[in-house]
Amino acid sequence: AIHASIIAFHGLGEHIMRYDAVFLRWAQHGYRIIGFDQRGFGQTGQRRTVGHNEGLRRVMKDALELADAYALNDAPLHAFGHSMGGFLALHFAALHPQRVASVAASGPLILRGSNAGASIVKDTALRVLAPLLRTVVMKNPLTVADVSRDPAVVADFEADPLCHAYVSVGTAYDIVTGGEGLNRNPNQVTVPCMIAHGTADRMTDPTASQRFIANLAIADKRYVPLDGLYHEILFEPEKEWVSRSFLDWFDEHTAPRTGSPPTGTPMLASPMAF
């Protein structure tokens, strides 16, 4: 039986169907997954300006409308996202604390990683251009090998026609400054919060995630450092354990259910308590 819903946000340059295998597993455990291709991305991006999500407010409005339309009434709603989507999930939870039971993020874009310094555009240029040229689309250089340690995942990403390297000035500005805002003021998030992050992630900064959780005022929080994993932890060789870790979090914040804990921990992936 379905006993809760999850609103899901994909990352920059990808699309929601990449997570079908993960979402199927969660659905089999009683969750209704509400996933969508943001404006400018995936199948939605084929009908609009590629790489332009029409602004953070628009993404939040779209997500709320979908949650209103498809989430189970009188049942918990969780937020989940990866990378840019991790930031969006955290922001959604901050905006709707009365609606969101918990939030979980995979490698969220709070601060950019060591290999992403020039990948979105220089900060100074971004801040100058954003108010004037929000819809202008630029190429976002990406080292695809940093996505996963699994060569098959890297090859699939490169071959996927719905994955692209384009982002608008406005979209880049919103996610960079929005992540910085969360970094400065983590206590915008007041609902139970879990972040899992690969320690070898070079696309988003794992230390920013660890610091974010450490600085949260709430008691119900969890940081899961995944030793040696790259950016896309749900597409790494340890993906089954990672998927189950998120599922356990949702279970803990829905209703008590029986179930075994994840096994086969990836090198060392115990939650950090602060």
- Given this model, what pLDDT does residue 125 score? 66
Q: In this structure, what is the dihedral angle of CA atoms 32, 18, 95, 136, given to the nearest 10 degrees?
A: -150
Predicted confidence (pLDDT) at residue 256 exceeds the cutoff of 80: no
| Beta-carbon contacts of residue 251 (< 8 Å; ≥ 6 apart) | 29, 257, 259
Predicted confidence band of residue 265 (pLDDT cuts 50, 70, 90): very low
> What is the chain's alpha carbon radius of gyration, rounded to the nearest angstrom?
17
Predicted confidence band of residue 261 (pLDDT cuts 50, 70, 90): very low
Mean pLDDT of the residues in the chain: 89
What is the total residue count of the chain?
274
Is the separation of the CB atoms in 208 and 269 below 8 Å? no
Top pLDDT among 255 and 208 is at: 208
Top pLDDT among 112 and 3 is at: 3
- The strand pair at 31-35 and 4-9 is best described as parallel
Alpha-carbon gap, residue 107 to 196, rounded angstroms: 6
Tell me which fold the domain 4-252 belongs to: Rossmann fold (3.40.50)
Q: Quick count: other Cβ atoms within 10 Å of Cβ 119?
A: 18
In this prediction the pTM is: 0.90
* pLDDT tens-digit series, residues 108-164: 999 887 765 444 455 666 667 777 788 888 888 788 999 999 999 999 999 999 999
Question: Which residue intervals of the chain are DSSP H helices?
Answer: 20-28, 42-45, 56-70, 84-95, 123-129, 151-159, 169-184, 206-215, 239-252
